[in-house]
Chain A
């Protein structure tokens, strides 16, 4: 009886058995790499906005306090996106003819809000409250990155759960004195370990890692 398969089939069989193992491994590495890449996480990707608002200029060079615009950050879960009126407190007096700011003036005239593109967003199944973090000594830049150096704002961290837990499991590594929370140029001291432990005690910071802390 004639052979059904050519003798090369033996090689093909071996290569495909071991090859599929290798391919599976490679695929899982590729997927893992993709899930950590900016393509998926949006980290460090500046977003175009209706008006090219620069945090570097306003918060960095001019030194305007974060809370001047993000007014509800100390009382509310949401830090707040400023209304056009907040922009116009200054821009009714300076750069009044700037073409770049025409959308701001148009918004002010018509009463229609500027439609900013959201940069940092958490899914709806996550409960997050800005005020408690600010009050327990977590600085703006701890999560939002070097905001005073951003000409256009970008997401500085993945906001993935593992990132949240990085701090929730070890808050002493990130906590800073309360009077430094809104300082965009704050650098942690060399003795963060000592200071952190002390602040955790002083501010009575709990390491909350229960599911229901955030998934309520």
Chain B
């Protein structure tokens, strides 16, 4: 492909100083825009719904949810898997694309990482709340206890604890370490004393010396190395939650790669959902260019095809295995009481995203935005189908049943969206949404030579 057809990863005409100005002025320069206040107000209102739902849950117990035998997992696990999957794109962008020296990652990695952390926070809430007595969460940890036992290390639910807590820790470290030079930039540019002190505190004494940069680069590479296996391992362990069980539709070796691909699929969809309004509202089209959107659309297309292959193999293996229960499960998925969910999922995750093959679609911002929402919906439905259809009609027909989420299920799920967007809005307002220091590295050498 000739270079003239490929949009650049940063529009021409920028210098070191103008890059710093543009990004730091979002925080320090202009007045807080009205849409920010509006967005934050709406998000906090939804967050309050979450608080209400959780408070009532703690008072009454998980009986307020729609879960019961045979479907004991329900929304809690659906939403957990959905959120944690969304986080994966951030880690992929920040770690794997860093190691692969993909420069286009630079302008989206910061808020993709923020998205990861906030998504993991939302994800983590669900298993904790699902435990029924979240204040005893530390029982999940191996520590010398009065029970004289260890957690059941043969259970993937315990592996999950380690996978997710490691993931949260490494993501947070990566995010923070990457932000230190930018925090120092903000400290140096801040006019008001409070901002100077807060950014100065967070910048941990960064002076931009050669030693600092050397350590910064080393730490970034080390953390990228640590985070790279996590992109694959975390959702693999999440898939083990299902695959280790003997339920029809869960007990499949394809689950780990199929889950990881689905995670990256939904994650990139979420990055797209967030970056399109973001670049518009903050006039960042020069930094998050059509090249970025195009690349993300391609990643979505690729991972979407892997996911589609997963659906195909699930169906094929059900019949190829000849197992009565597997066959019944897949037919029940396609023709049973939840068939509308299944076919909507196929529509959202497999059929509609094929339009991304067309360059015309990939260069249309509204179309991309719609596709990102479609994929997010589809991936949520996928988790619903996996959790509910396997459980609601399993080996014992006498215990078959239906799963209906209650209003509290919905309140908790929508509430985590409130949590996510509240954190996101605060992040947009108070932290550099694009990595300033790394963006300076993209400025062509000739034009960036001017001193600030």
A10 to B148, CA, bound (A): 44
In the bound complex, residues from chain B placing their C-beta under 8 Å from that of A164 are 148
Is B144's beta carbon under 8 Å from chain A?
A: yes
**How many residues of chain B are within 8 Å of chain A by beta carbon?**
13
Question: Contacts A4-B187, A4-B197, A5-B200: A10 and B147 contacting too (C-beta < 8 A)?
Answer: no
Question: Contacts A4-B197, A13-B204: A35 and B146 contacting too (C-beta < 8 A)?
Answer: yes
State whether A165 touches B149 (Cβ < 8 A): yes
Is A187's beta carbon under 8 Å from chain B?
A: no
Main secondary structure of the interface of A (DSSP, over half): helix
State whether A10 touches B197 (Cβ < 8 A): no
Contact string against B for A residues 42-57, beta-carbon threshold 8 Å, 1 for contact and 0 otherwise: 0000000000000000
Is B205's beta carbon under 8 Å from chain A?
A: yes
Closest beta carbon of chain B to A183's beta carbon, Å? 28
State whether A4 touches B205 (Cβ < 8 A): no
A163 to B188, CA, bound (A): 60
- Closest-by-CB residue of B relative to A9 is B205
- Near B by CB (< 8 A), chain A positions 3-32 give 4-5, 9-10, 13, 32
State whether A160 touches B146 (Cβ < 8 A): yes
- Closest-by-CB residue of A relative to B148 is A162
Is A158's beta carbon under 8 Å from chain B?
A: yes
Is B145's beta carbon under 8 Å from chain A?
A: yes
Closest beta carbon of chain A to B212's beta carbon, Å? 14
State whether B187 touches A162 (Cβ < 8 A): no
Total residue contacts A-B, CB cutoff 8 A: 33
State whether A32 touches B144 (Cβ < 8 A): yes
- Near A by CB (< 8 A), chain B positions 152-189 give 187-188
- Near B by CB (< 8 A), chain A positions 140-171 give 158, 160-166
> Which residue from B145, B147, B148, B200 sits with its C-beta under 8 Å from A4?
B200
In the bound complex, residues from chain B placing their C-beta under 8 Å from that of A165 are 147-149
Question: Contacts A4-B200, A10-B205: A158 and B149 contacting too (C-beta < 8 A)?
Answer: no
A60 to B188, CA, bound (A): 81
- Closest-by-CB residue of B relative to A35 is B146
A50 to B354, CA, bound (A): 80
Closest beta carbon of chain B to A38's beta carbon, Å? 14
A42 to B340, CA, bound (A): 59
> Which residue from B148, B188, B204, B205 sits with its C-beta under 8 Å from A166?
B148
State whether A162 touches B197 (Cβ < 8 A): no
A135 to B200, CA, bound (A): 71
> What are the 5 A-B residue pairs with the smallest beta carbon separation, nearest first?
A162-B148, A161-B147, A160-B146, A165-B148, A4-B200
Q: Can you name 5 A-B pairs with beta carbons within 8 Å?
A: A4-B197, A5-B200, A161-B147, A162-B147, A163-B148
Which chain A residues have a beta carbon within 8 Å of chain B's beta carbons? Answer: 1, 4-5, 9-10, 13, 32, 35-36, 158, 160-166
Which chain B residues have a beta carbon within 8 Å of chain A's beta carbons? Answer: 144-149, 187-188, 196-197, 200, 204-205
Q: Beyond A9-B205, A165-B149: 7 further Cβ-contacts under 8 Å?
A: A4-B197, A5-B200, A10-B205, A160-B148, A162-B147, A163-B148, A166-B148
